[in-house]
Structure 1
Amino acid sequence: MSIATAPSVTTRSSQRIDTQRTTRKKRGRSIGVAVLTTALLVVVAFPLVWLFLGSLKTQQEFLDNPAFALPENFFNFENYTRALTEGNLATYARNSVIAVVPSLFLTIFLGVCAGFALEVMVWKGRGTVLLMFLAGIMVPGQLILLPLFTIYFRAGLTGSLWPLIITYTAVGLPLTTFMMATFFRSVPRELLEAATLDGASTLRAFFSIALPLVRNAVFTIALVQFFFMWNDLLVALTFTNSDALRTIQVGLLGFQGQFGQVEYGPTMAAISLNVAGTLLIYLFLNKRMMAGLTAGSVKG
């Protein structure tokens, strides 16, 4: 009997050893992932925390204390008041909103319509038109600034925010059209054919069937285009010729010079407000995108 049970005991022992090894490997992977995640979180969060703490420091603290020292008063918001009043940050933010919101709406609306027409509708020459949009992606933005400035000057558009709106829309439209055409490619043609047989027009099929199916892609592209337009410096710096027309990025560029080379507190406060605003918008749109994806998967 002992001879018969010996292999069974050996087998159970080997299985136990394999189980322990597997457990140790999984535990080691979990620890490694946790360490890596913590390191990435520290790398991302540390500059934001340092920026916010620096915005609470006084001028004397910047001159006397080390760079990474904590502020003496965590409720010192005078720098934020100076950034909004003396630094005209509210005016710069208003100009950014006026320039970005219409540009984003036109880019998304025209890009979604063009993507639908180029991918779903059948008409002669759509391949050539799509290649023209792709050619627009390959043109560097730096090459068109001087010709655009000449055109805007001769058209009498300088001295306003129209050059920014037109340029942002024209630069963002090729990529938006190409991406939306790619997403419309995944829309089942049977649904559109069934809608046509039921008597739906092209516009009805677009707004009632195609657009709801790609709404998550629209949110994604809108998020990408928003950050491109809001964080733009080159175009805004080229076409804004007065302090009253500066966007927030151009205003931050001259912020340090306005307060002098040693006024770091108001500068950090202005940057903190800009970062906080864009971060909140990103979190809001990200939640909307995730909610749309979850709802779509449940309905399907």
Structure 2
Amino acid sequence: MSSTTSSTATSIRRREAAGRTLRRIPGWLLVAVLLIVVVYPLFWLLMGSFKTQAEFLTSPTWAFPESWTNFDNYIEAFTTGNLGTYIRNSILATIPALFFTIVFGVAAGFALEVMVWKGRGTILLLFLAGIMVPGQMILLPLFTIYFQTGLTGSLWPLIITYTAIGLPLTVFMMATYFRGVPREIFEAATLDGAGILRSFWSIGFPLVKNAIFTVALVQFFFIWNDLLIALTFTNRDDLRTIQVGLLNFTGQFGQIQYGPTFAAICVNVFGTLVIYLFLNQRVMKGLTAGSVKG
């Protein structure tokens, strides 16, 4: 009797395990499909950056390159295609715009959420209204203003425009994060003699640093991947950012030289992908930074 009961229990456990495995199969298939959809285009792009022109014209699109050590396409992208200049311009436009956006946005979020003054609710609504303004509507008036003030022919139109467009979302998000910081912390700092600036730099800023990091990363990808604004305000080849430069690659090489175009796209895509993967954990911490406990 004991042996029969044990055998029955083992059979039941096996059937349950088999049932759980069968229920997991659709999930595994979905993950596999998503993995193929996401990874294969990146792998296909990487393969194309190592192919010669003859391989593009005679081999199937899914064929592997004959050599994985052929870096001629990358060399041509940086020399003939001026990819280094485009990357430099993107960095010179992104870093100042990101700095101004974060400093002004964090300060405004602190002032609108922590400080108590008349009309702060109205000001916050005005910032929120800025999120709803399409960027395409302001490009032509901005171009006219930059031309009249003599700012065209430099990267300042990009820096100013990126800062202005990024501020509404930054202010809203930072105000939300500051809302999660207990007011008792700032009240205790005030009783200890700390002024507004001291409370901001020594208390408020460190408490939301993970949130600042997350907002900065979001704004970085927006600025770095922008095409429309950069295409509107860069009127010379030596001012083009990497996205406009990649568009120029298509115009310069057309349907003939695919290798350098693929190599330039790889530098841009995989460079930003490495940054995101490296900083992914900090982003996750920043997303939960609003739940600060006193």
Asked if residue 278 in structure 1 is aligned to residue 243 in structure 2, the reply is no
Other-structure match for 2:122: 128
In the alignment, residue 40 of structure 1 is paired with which amino acid? L
Q: Which moved more, 1:228-237 or 1:30-39?
A: 30-39
**Whose radius of gyration is greater, 1 or 2?**
1
Q: How far 1:275 moved relative to its partner?
A: 0.8
CA distance in 2, matches of 1:127, 1:296: 20
Identity %: 68
Contact kept in structure 1, 2:110 and 2:174, CA below 8 Å: yes
| One-letter code aligned to 1:138 | M
Preserved CA contact (<8 Å) 2:181 2:290: no
The 5 A counterparts of 1:52-131 are 52-131=46-125
Structure-2 residue corresponding to 1:223: 217
Q: What is the aligned partner in structure 1 of residue 20 from structure 2? A: 26
The change in CA–CA distance for 1:16 and 1:205 in structure 2 (over 3 A counts) is farther
Q: State whether structure 2 residue 226 is matched by structure 1 residue 232.
A: yes
Q: Do structure 1's residue 175 and structure 2's residue 166 form an aligned pair?
A: no
Alpha-carbon offset, residue 229 of structure 1? 0.3
Q: Could you tell me how far 1:262 is from its partner in structure 2?
A: 1.4
Q: What TM-score do you get using the length of structure 2 for normalisation?
A: 0.91
TM-score of the pair, normalised by structure 1: 0.89
Deviations 1:125-180 (A, max 9, x none): 10111011011111100000000000000000000000000000000000000011
1:264 matched to 2:258? The reply is yes
Deviates further, 278-287 or 73-82: 278-287
Change (3 A) 1:164 1:24: same
Q: Using the alignment, how far apart are the partners of 1:158 and 1:267 within structure 2?
A: 28
- What amino acid sits opposite 1:85 in the alignment? T
Measured after TM superposition, the shift of residue 24 of structure 1 is 3.6
Give the number of equivalent residue pairs: 292
Is 1:190 matched up with 2:184? yes
Flag the 1:29–1:270 CA change in 2: closer, same or farther, 3 A: same
Between stretches 35-44 and 176-185, larger displacement belongs to 35-44
Aligned counterparts of 1:231 and 1:46: Cα–Cα separation in 2: 21
Residue 260 of structure 1: how far off its partner (Å): 3.3
Uncovered stretches (5+) of structure 1, i.e. residues with no partner: none
| Alignment check: 8 A CA contact 1:79 1:265 kept | yes
> After the TM superposition, which segments of 4 or more aligned residues of structure 1 sit over 6 Å from their partners?
12-18, 291-297
Q: Which amino acid aligns with 2:234?
A: T
Distance 2:116 2:215 in 1: 25
C-alpha distance in 2 between matches for 1:296 and 1:233: 32
The aligned amino acid for 1:166 is I
Note if contact 2:180-2:290 (Cα within 8 Å) is conserved in structure 1.
no
Q: Distance in 1 between matches of 2:132 and 2:284?
A: 31
- The equivalent of 1:157 in structure 2 is 151
